[in-house]
């Protein structure tokens, strides 16, 4: 944490006022995926009544006003349920901040609007469905590795990077849990389902 300058007395300022992270310099007025590289990436098929939560870092105070997915293979009558969670302080999703649903019926872009100011910190982007549509996702080579290695034993050959969390639900159509339910497992799959957030402005 930065120290506070004391000279002159009339001007108090933080020595460190902005994160040096490249995520603090994303272009405003664009859809951002908050990954190490940017693009629509590969695809991810949903598992029925599973909620996938992917960690994202927001490095500057930001106004975000939309969320979007690209459906790659639709399923008639399906919906994709989305949510944004804060972190509970232990690198695990906590309180539900925003949520909604989008049609997963046809292979097109789907957008939803919301408006929230995000303070710098760790958040979780959650996506799930009661059906099995496929959406564009984040490839294993471009996402942020925050969760660390899932198992890494002395003398072994194991050790895969935890990509996201996988929470089994009874009925996702009843709404996303608030707060996020305990017991989600670390998933080391080759890709994660992902949405894009509209970065309206820095504040």
Confidence of residue 21 (pLDDT cuts 50, 70, 90): low
Encode 62-81: b = buried (16+ Cβ within 10 Å), e = exposed.
Answer: bebebbbbbbbebbeebbbb
Total-model pTM: 0.87
Of 22 and 154, more confident? 154
146 pLDDT exceeds 90?
no
Cβ atoms of residues 165 and 31 within 8 Å: no
Classified by CATH at the fold level, domain 30-174+183-202 comes out as: Jelly Rolls (2.60.120)
pLDDT value of position 111: 98
Q: pLDDT by residue (tens digit) across 70-128?
A: 999 999 999 999 999 999 999 999 999 999 999 999 999 999 999 999 999 999 999 99
19 pLDDT exceeds 70?
no
**Residue 29, Cβ neighbours under 10 Å: how many?**
8
166 pLDDT exceeds 80?
yes
Domain positions in the chain are 30-174+183-202
């Amino acid at each position: 944490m930065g120290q506070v300058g004391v000279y002159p007395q009339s001007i108090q300022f933080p020595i460190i006022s902005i994160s040096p992270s490249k995520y603090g310099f994303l272009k405003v007025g664009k859809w951002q995926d908050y990954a190490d590289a940017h693009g629509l990436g590969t695809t991810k098929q949903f598992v029925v009544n599973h909620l996938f939560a992917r960690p994202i870092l927001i490095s500057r105070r930001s106004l975000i006003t939309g969320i979007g997915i690209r459906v790659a293979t639709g399923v008639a009558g399906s919906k994709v349920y989305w949510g944004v969670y804060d972190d509970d302080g232990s690198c695990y999703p906590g309180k539900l901040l925003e949520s909604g649903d989008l049609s997963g019926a046809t292979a097109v872009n789907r957008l939803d609007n919301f408006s929230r100011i995000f303070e710098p910190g760790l958040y979780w982007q959650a996506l799930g469905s009661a059906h099995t549509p496929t959406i564009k996702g984040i490839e294993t080579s471009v996402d942020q590795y925050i969760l660390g290695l899932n198992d890494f034993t002395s003398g072994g050959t194991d050790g895969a990077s935890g990509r996201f969390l996988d929470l089994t639900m009874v009925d996702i159509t009843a709404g996303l849990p608030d707060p996020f339910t305990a017991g989600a497992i670390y998933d080391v799959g080759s890709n994660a389902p992902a949405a894009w957030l509209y970065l309206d402005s820095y504040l």
